[in-house]
């Protein structure tokens, strides 16, 4: 599984990344976390506002800093 944090490195993007890592740790899963900072790649995924969270290439959230509790269902496969 791969979790992608889409953003240019702003404080909100870093917070989303930290929250995702906490969620992954709490679940005890082996998950690759990738930061996508290239604006062309971000736009190619259909994202026009950051930060965004994608799981296995599917964008799950745009323009919001999710808490770890909001991220966990996405990692578990929920919507």
Closest CA to 6 of 44, 26, 69, 78: 44
Cβ atoms of 66 and 16 within 8 Å: the answer is: yes
Q: Could you count the other beta carbons within 10 Å of the beta carbon of residue 11?
A: 10
Catalytic residues: 10, 13
Residue 77: per-residue pLDDT: 84
Cβ atoms of 22 and 14 within 8 Å: the answer is: no
The pLDDT tens digits of the residues spanning 19-77 come to 999 999 999 999 999 999 999 999 999 999 999 999 999 999 999 999 999 999 999 98
CATH at residue 25: 3.40.30.10
Based on the structure, what is the number of domains in the chain?
1
54 versus 78: which is more confidently predicted?
54
d(C-alpha 27, C-alpha 5), whole Å? 18
Residue 13's pLDDT band (boundaries 50, 70, 90)? very high
Cβ atoms of 13 and 41 within 8 Å: the answer is: no
For residue 79, pLDDT beyond 60: no
Domain of residue 26, residue span: 2-76
């Amino acid at each position: 599984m791969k979790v992608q944090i889409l953003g240019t490195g702003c404080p909100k993007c870093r917070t989303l990344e930290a929250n995702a890592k906490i969620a992954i740790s709490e679940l005890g899963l082996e998950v690759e976390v990738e930061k996508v900072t290239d604006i062309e790649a971000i736009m190619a995924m259909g994202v026009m506002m950051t930060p965004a969270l994608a799981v296995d290439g599917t964008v799950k959230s745009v323009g919001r800093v999710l808490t770890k509790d909001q991220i966990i269902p996405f990692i578990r496969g929920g919507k």
